[in-house]
A and B are shown apart, each in its own frame.
Chain A
Amino acid sequence: MAFAFSLLSVLMIVSTVLLSYSLTEDVARIGSRRYTKQLVDQVTANIESYIDYMESVSSFALANQDIQDYIRAEGERKQGQLKRRAADFLDTIVQSRRDISLAAVFDYKGNFVTHAPELKRNPFAETDTMPWFSAAREAEGEPTISTPHVQNIIKDRYRWVISLSREITDRTTGKGAGILLVDLNFNVINTICGSVALGKRGYLFIVDRDGSIVYHPQQQLIYGGLKSEDVQRVLAVSGDYFASSEDDGDKLYSVSNMRATGWKIVGVNFRSELVENREAIRLTFSAWGVGFFALTIVLSIFLSLRISRPIKRLRKSMQAVEMGDFDIRVDIQSTDEIGELGKDFNIMISEIRTLIKQNNVQQELKRKSELKALQMQINPHFLYNTLDSIIWMAEGRKEQEVITMVSSLARLFRLSLGKGKEIIDIGSEVEHVGHYLTIQKIRYKDKLDYEIKVDPDILNFKTVKIILQPLVENAIYHGIKHKASPGKITITGKRSAHGVELAVHDDGIGMSRETLSKLSAPGETNSSGGGLGVRNVDERIKLYFGKEYGLDFESAEDKGTTVYVRLPALEEAEEQ
């Protein structure tokens, strides 16, 4: 039972734990994807804010009077106060933001002014060959943003920058007259991109709209052909997210577009790192799983013990009962079905115990009664009196009477023995009492008269043997013997409503109410032997046929006594 419980529970737990684990991982993965997207968007916004700033600064500069004055100035004037004022304005641009490394104006005649007077032109660098210069010229007043590059226009200064360049229009002529250059330190982008942590191995890179790498933490590896980035896919992707399987692991790309520059900022995550604390989650879930297992098994053992232990105890008790020990009691405290079972078991055992006790008592009673009946069969008094009578008759040469008496005696004893059976036909019983009465009639002569009127229909019903003889004996000795005039005994027998009713009626002296009640009371011992015989008859009938059967007395003083014998109408006796 515990086995089945556990197996079931293990199945449930395994599936539950795995399901929750995969759900948790999914949630974590989605969360981390969202987080990556947010980071990339944040980076994009940060870089964009720099670009936006540069653009607004450039618009501001284009409209500035000092710049206009400088652009328009010719010859000597270009070097004096106008240049200084233009430089001052450019300096305010640089001062406003630490990340701006250079602000300068180059006119198309080869003059230039920067934010700091100490900066000199690199004599070997031609503005015409500078991509930012030509791009701005082509854009005709629109701002252009360069990819990161080394700015070498200033002597002895080589800095990685992103250049914003824009053609300055001379407002008097409406024609382009020079280029404004604002350089943003590329370090800004390095710092922004480098500070983003996408797991342990994840990183961020930027491509421009042509697919050239603008920023990549491993730019040199890519140029050296040691690494490649699926730039085409980044450019082609319509959404902001795609997955890719590469040599160094499965990667997830989050792409964000930058409006001003057309750059795409790409966050790269390694799938294996997406769920940041994957190991911790796994460990936790495994621990939970194992914990549940342990709990389940403990519970299963506990439950099955709770059920099986009382059953085992019950079984053990039953085995004891089997062996004959009826004094056992199961002690099951529980209130469930098992407890009920235990209670019922106890009730059953006590019932059996009572029955056995009863049975034993009855058996003993039966044995005693049978012994009594046996004694009645061979009542020595009766035998002695009869034999004495026979002797007297023999001496008186009353041969015929001797023959009658001896043969009746012989038949009487033979019927008394009744082949050893306790239950006999009513017919035999009537015959038996008939022989008895014949003997007594011979002894008492005219003093005794008798009549037997038994319905022939009931002769085949069963009865306990030797019931009528003691009643007749009783009638003679206690009824007729003490009567002055001759007495008559009438024996009747007929079907009654509930069975068979035999009756022994005498017209003797009768019994006082007191004597009658004494006779009726069961178990009461009577010193005068007669009562004993009658009660024995009653007991034996009750023993064999049940309490509803037995004797009833009806008596009135000087009128006589009738004893009714109530018997079942049984055709076949179940001899026990």
Chain B
Amino acid sequence: MRRSVSLFIPGILLSILLGGSVIIMLIAGMAAPKAPMRAIAVLKTIDVNMEFWEVVKTGMRTAAKEFDVELEIRGPQMESDVQGQIKIMEDAIAERPKVIILAAADFSDLVGSVENAKKKGIRVITIDSGVNSSIPETFVATNNIEAGEKMGVEMAHRATEGKEIALVNHIKGATTAIEREEGALRAIKKDGRFKILDTRYTNNIEENAYGITLELLETHRNLGGIMAMNEVSTVGVARALRDKKRSDVRLVGFDNSLFEVKLIEEGIIDATVIQQPFNMGYLAVRAARTANTGKRLEPFIDTGSLLITVDNMYHPEIQKSLFPFAEREARQ
């Protein structure tokens, strides 16, 4: 009996010690500091001259700071370097971040990498351009159909009734090209007052857009408007219209550059629909953070688009999207 008492008391003392420590730790809230989540973004390009991607990066960094994400941004120098991007993806997967944010350079070729990431337990989020797979948690991008529709509505509003409307698109089969065209055509058809010409493709070369425009002006006397579906096409078409002094032909373009801004001021471009790359980057990182907590995400997150005209381009709400950086000289 005595022996058991002599063990009993140290036992009680020990429990008091532990109990006290636990109380203190509980009340003082010993929640261990949350380690930042590690994520790697693999973009289409890290070329600092690509304004769109620079703004995406800004948005990403803003969100990374706000949501405490340890983010690393990588990508090939050239947007067309699909193999380069696959290599970068594989390296990123080997480092086992929690989440990879991918702007796929190719709809099909990156599927393998996305599957590899899943095998390693890495969550994947696609932005801007998706992959042909259901693995990614979500796709953060501009709703291109809706953006196209905005172009179509604006064109229908501006062009003279009964005229012919031409579409200058970038790459046949590209998702963005298909979707924007779908939206644009839907709006024009809905209006019903115009004749729609066959879509022409520039293969993303400005000179092709210029040539196509010259050809259109030659062959279609009744041409009332052109819808150019990306930045390269828009600038090419605009230059041709300016050179031919055909201010009677309405032009609704897509995307944003200082040169486009200047062409809008000049009245060559009537309107352009711009994406919101800052929002895209921000929302992608925020989605990555959410995905890491295991919550289900909507399969598609729309980052929005804005219609820019000469009348609204200097409005406070528009300026920041149209001129995302403090200084940049326009090209002649």
Contact surface of A with B, Cβ cutoff 8 Å:
2-3, 6-7, 10, 13-14, 17-18, 21, 122, 124-125, 147, 149-150, 152, 156-160, 185-187, 190, 200-201, 212-213, 217-221, 223-224, 226, 248, 279, 282-283, 285-286, 289-290, 293-294, 297, 300-301
Contact = CB atoms under 8 A, between A and B. Distances in A.
A162 to B, nearest CB: 11
Nearest to B32: A279
20 contacts: A10-B17, A10-B19, A18-B27, A21-B28, A124-B265, A149-B314, A156-B329, A158-B261, A185-B327, A190-B326, A213-B316, A220-B276, A220-B282, A223-B317, A226-B279, A248-B66, A282-B28, A285-B24, A289-B24, A290-B24
Contacts of A285: 24, 28
A293 B279 contact: no
Nearest to A7: B16
Contacts of A6: 13, 16-17
B50 interface: no
- 6 closest cross-chain pairs (CB), A and B: A124-B265, A289-B24, A10-B20, A220-B278, A160-B326, A223-B317
Nearest to A130: B314
B327 A160 contact: yes
B258 A158 contact: yes
Nearest to A283: B30
Interface in B257-275: 258, 261-262, 265-267
Contacts, number: 129
Contacts of A125: 265
A200 B20 CA distance: 33
B316 A212 contact: yes
B246 interface: no
A297 B17 contact: yes
A13 B20 CA distance: 9
Interface in B290-332: 303-304, 314, 316-317, 319-330, 332
A301 B30 CA distance: 29
Contacts of B27: 14, 18
Given A124-B266, A152-B314, A282-B30, A17 B9 contact: no
Given A3-B12, A21-B28, 16 more contacts: A6-B17, A10-B17, A152-B265, A152-B314, A156-B262, A156-B330, A158-B261, A187-B326, A218-B62, A220-B278, A220-B279, A221-B278, A286-B21, A290-B20, A294-B17, A297-B16
Contact of A293 (B10, B17, B62, B267): B17
B30 to A, nearest CB: 6
Nearest to A185: B326
Contacts of B330: 156-158
B327 A159 contact: yes
A289 B21 contact: yes
B29 interface: yes
Given A156-B330, A218-B282, A224-B276, A18 B321 contact: no
Contacts of B19: 10
Contacts of B324: 220
A290 B21 contact: yes
Contacts of A152: 265, 314
A122 B310 CA distance: 14
A200 B325 CA distance: 24
Contact of A159 (B16, B23, B32, B326): B326
Contacts of A17: 24, 28
Contact of A2 (B9, B23, B278, B279): B9
Nearest to A288: B24
B283 interface: yes
B215 interface: no
Contacts of B59: 220
Nearest to A10: B20
B174 interface: no
Given A3-B13, A10-B20, A286 B314 contact: no
Contacts of B12: 3
Contacts of A13: 20
B193 interface: no
Contacts of B303: 224
A185 B19 CA distance: 61
A395 B12 CA distance: 102
A158 B68 CA distance: 34
Contacts of A289: 20-21, 24
Nearest to B68: A200
B24 A286 contact: yes
B267 A124 contact: yes
Contacts of B322: 150
A151 to B, nearest CB: 10
Contacts of B172: none
